[in-house]
Amino acid sequence: MTDRQGNRSDRAQVGQIGEETACKYLKKHGFEIVERNYWKKWGEIDIVARKGNMVHFVEVKAVVRSVPSGSRGQLSDKSGGLASESDFYDAEDNVHPWKLKRLSRAIQTYCLERNLPDEQEWQVDVVTIELDFDTRRARVKILDDIGL
């Protein structure tokens, strides 16, 4: 049971660092962060941002990657063991249809609670973060305007 809690704690830490990194990235690219971690029991919005007249509902997905020095492209898993690149998945692979459905419900509720006008333009973006704790670097990618 301790292992599961430890893994959950690790995932939460990766998620928190990923969201912080995503916010910095968005701000650097001209977005204003309006709200973070809007939560309802039927769904969550990681980041609500604005750029120009567009409201962006941003889902953040972060994974840990590491390339040990001298390994010639072999990746290391979190435990330090070597793994092949095929052992990993892309962060965007974690955006499952059920997650999009929950996100859609949360967006509907958010728009109603915040009294966003019906004509307000909005879109859903996914920001993926690949974190390398060894080099303290992150690779950020934004998937712009995904359909719900």
The conformation of residue 31, written as its DSSP 8-state character, comes to P
Please say if the pLDDT value at position 107 is more than 70: yes
What is the per-residue pLDDT for 80? 45
pLDDT digits (tens, 9 = 90+) for 113-137: 999 999 999 999 999 998 888 888 8
Q: How much of the chain, in percent, has pLDDT values that exceed 70?
A: 74
Name the least confident of 4-13, 33-42, 98-107, 117-126.
Answer: 4-13
Contacts of 100 (CB under 8 A, 6+ apart): 148
Kindly state the average pLDDT of the residues 57-63: 91
What is the per-residue pLDDT for 3? 45
What is the per-residue pLDDT for 8? 61
Give the pTM.
Answer: 0.76
What is the per-residue pLDDT for 88? 55
- Tell me the pLDDT of the chain averaged across its residues: 80
What structural domains does the chain harbor?
A: 2-146 (3.40.1350.10)
What is the per-residue pLDDT for 12? 84
Q: Is the dihedral of CA 34, 12, 43, 91 positive or negative?
A: positive
On whether the CB atoms of residues 104 and 112 are closer than 8 A, the answer is no
Please say if the pLDDT value at position 33 is more than 90: yes
pLDDT band at 49 (very low <50, low <70, confident <90, very high): very high
Q: Is the dihedral of CA 69, 77, 14, 40 positive or negative?
A: positive
Kindly state the average pLDDT of the residues 91-111: 82
